[in-house]
Structure 1
């Protein structure tokens, strides 16, 4: 218990210092183009623009490079927001997510299950707002999508409970063959080599 508390305190301090460090380097402003790539995805700039991590091929090094850019997507309620590791984990996202995509929202996946979880929905307003808008762009309403996922999860759980309740327990008193008369068992003949 004490080690978990220490871990949480250390994580909070690290995140706070990181955010303060980013702001102090940039004169108190969060600018997408100046964010380190490992803090870019799901961030919101001081002007309310969503930051997006982009991947590009560098012909000189023949490698892939990442850069943080302004997406052009405005956020109404939040500014100067660097998403927390807790929310990324709770919502099934990764820090190095490239671009913004609604892929996986309509299907029942691990990602959509986590995105629709109470932990994500109740504690991560930035991510919920982003995916609410991405879903709307695809003609979906995120609360309805999440309700469908929750119904599916409940029906799976009920099905599992029914199967578990009707399944017979372990056999007691020996083998299943113990009750079969030996006269009804016939042995297969050995294969004949030609």
Structure 2
């Protein structure tokens, strides 16, 4: 009976080892991922995967997973877990990659929670880099409270470049169509 238990244990360990080696050696190409595993995934080259929506000529919407130009600092071959998506308040069906969610106080509360911030390094790395791109340091934003957090989020809102206004007053031209133009000969 002990040998059967030993064999069973060995068999289970061998199966687990086989699957873990396959998962480790497998390369993730964003273009091979489906809609349900694309968002927040990282390819084997360290590029982030992004879910995009294309509309075919027939009008049918098709979701496609593409490789973005955004590099990760530490993660490769990664498909984000449902546990982390839930802990961080994210949706698997999000299109593109944007820093807009950093403006949402409910999202920031989840992102800065202990479960997300310490347990989901891929997501924290993504939003850390997005915040830096907006001129905000994510750890400081997560540590701040109340008015200070709102000020940090307002820095994100005001970080966009705005084209300068006109330096001289604008002159508006009236649209004069040929039918309304005065006759070059003048009145008869």
Q: TM-score, normalised by structure 1?
A: 0.61
**Which secondary structure state, in structure 2, belongs to the residue aligned with residue 104 of structure 1?**
helix
1-structure distance, mates of 2:120, 2:64:
24
Q: TM-score, normalised by structure 2?
A: 0.63
Aligned to 1:127: 123
Aligned to 1:56: 54
1-structure distance, mates of 2:125, 2:73:
10
**Which secondary structure state, in structure 2, belongs to the residue aligned with residue 105 of structure 1?**
helix
Aligned to 2:146: 152
Match of 2:45 among 35, 44, 47: 47
> Which of structure 1's runs of 4+ aligned residues deviate more than 4 A?
none
Deviations 1:121-175 (A, max 9, x none): 0100000000000011111111122122xx229xxxxxxxxxxxxxxxxxxxxxx
Confirm or deny: 8 A CA contact 1:48 1:80 kept in the other structure.
yes
1:81 aligns with 2:78: yes
Aligned to 1:29: 27
Could you list the runs of 5+ residues in structure 1 that have no partner in the other structure? 1-15, 154-194
2-structure distance, mates of 1:78, 1:50:
9
Confirm or deny: 8 A CA contact 1:23 1:30 kept in the other structure.
no
**Which secondary structure state, in structure 2, belongs to the residue aligned with residue 140 of structure 1?**
coil
Aligned to 2:91: 94
2-structure distance, mates of 1:76, 1:126:
9
1:137 aligns with 2:136: no
How far is the alpha carbon of 1:59 from its aligned partner?
A: 2.0
Aligned to 1:13: none
Match of 2:65 among 64, 68, 71: 68
- Compute the RMSD of aligned alpha carbons: 2.4
Confirm or deny: 8 A CA contact 2:48 2:67 kept in the other structure.
yes
